[in-house]
């Protein structure tokens, strides 16, 4: 496959430049939760999207491989980006996109999901180094449901891996279905935040960050009743 990866291109910086008023996040665990929920829109809710997922290193994809086998069965297609530090087995409907260690994208953890029913993107940039212990790694991240911005990201990433960008009616996902899927995410996120647990300080900070993100990112897209529930978190 012919690739057109610009070594200076940054998903994180593009999102931050265009969507400066969206939610910012820092904790790695928060990013795990958000990544899972973007994936769940395809895995659990059946949104047939084109997914671009960056793991920085192929070895970081290995723990998620079984999950992505199931995602790939439901997605339009899946593209996994990373520096090829291990050999990955072929998986139907998943294409591996090798990065150079010096590429800007090799410093980023992103997940872009775009299709006729749904649009969302998580874009993060590592502020430390991937060689650090996971508990010591720091990121800056942004989460958005903006259909136009997600479309721009999907188009650029599609062209970079030499596939045609998706063509959607009215150039955006179906509004009602998009809102429904965000409602499902909101319900799952609220369930996470409402579950009683004994928390140490670190986990408490992650929950506090998630609570703020739920209010800022999800609240504008849901019903008034759910918006009131979110506000009461």
Q: Torsion-angle region of residue 92: left (phi > 0), alpha (psi -120 to 50) or beta?
A: beta
Higher pLDDT, 27 or 68: 68
> Do residues 79 and 93 make contact, with C-beta atoms less than 8 angstroms apart?
no
Mean pLDDT is highest, among 15-19, 161-165, 206-210, for 161-165
Whether the model clears a pTM of 0.85, i.e. scores above it, the answer is: yes
56 three-state secondary structure: strand
> pLDDT tens digit string along 157-198?
999 999 999 988 777 888 889 989 998 998 888 887 776 564
Binning pLDDT at 50, 70 and 90, where does residue 135 land? Answer: low
**Is residue 199 predicted with pLDDT exceeding 50?**
no
Write the class of the CATH domain 11-171: alpha beta
Residue 113 is predicted with a pLDDT of: 98
Structure tokens at 145: 């449901």
In angstroms, how far is the first alpha carbon of the chain from the final one?
47
139 three-state secondary structure: strand
* Overall average pLDDT of the 58-75 stretch: 97
Neighbours of 10 (CB within 10 A): 18
Give me the torsion for CA of 104, 105, 109, 115, rounded to 10°.
140
């Amino acid at each position: 496959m012919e690739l057109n990866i610009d070594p200076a291109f940054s998903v994180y910086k593009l999102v931050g430049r265009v969507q400066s008023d969206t939610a910012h996040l820092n904790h790695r665990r928060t990013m795990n939760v958000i990544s899972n929920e973007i994936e769940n829109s395809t895995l659990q809710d059946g949104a047939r999207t084109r997914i671009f997922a960056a793991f920085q290193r192929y070895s970081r994809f290995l723990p998620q491989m079984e999950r992505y086998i199931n995602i790939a069965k439901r997605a339009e297609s899946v593209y996994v980006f990373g520096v090829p530090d291990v050999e990955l087995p072929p998986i139907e409907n998943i294409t591996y996109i090798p990065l150079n260690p010096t590429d800007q994208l090799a410093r980023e953890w992103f997940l872009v999901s775009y299709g006729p029913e749904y649009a969302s993107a998580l874009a993060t940039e590592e502020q430390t180094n991937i060689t650090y212990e996971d508990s010591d790694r720091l990121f800056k991240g942004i989460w958005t449901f903006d259909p136009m911005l997600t479309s721009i990201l999907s188009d650029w990433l599609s062209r970079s891996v030499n596939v045609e960008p998706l063509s959607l009616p009215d150039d955006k996902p179906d509004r009602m279905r998009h809102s429904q899927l965000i409602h499902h995410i909101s319900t799952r996120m609220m369930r996470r935040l409402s579950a009683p647990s004994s928390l140490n300080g670190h986990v408490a900070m992650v929950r506090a960050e998630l609570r703020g993100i739920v209010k800022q990112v999800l609240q504008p897209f849901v019903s008034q009743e759910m918006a009131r529930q979110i506000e009461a978190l």
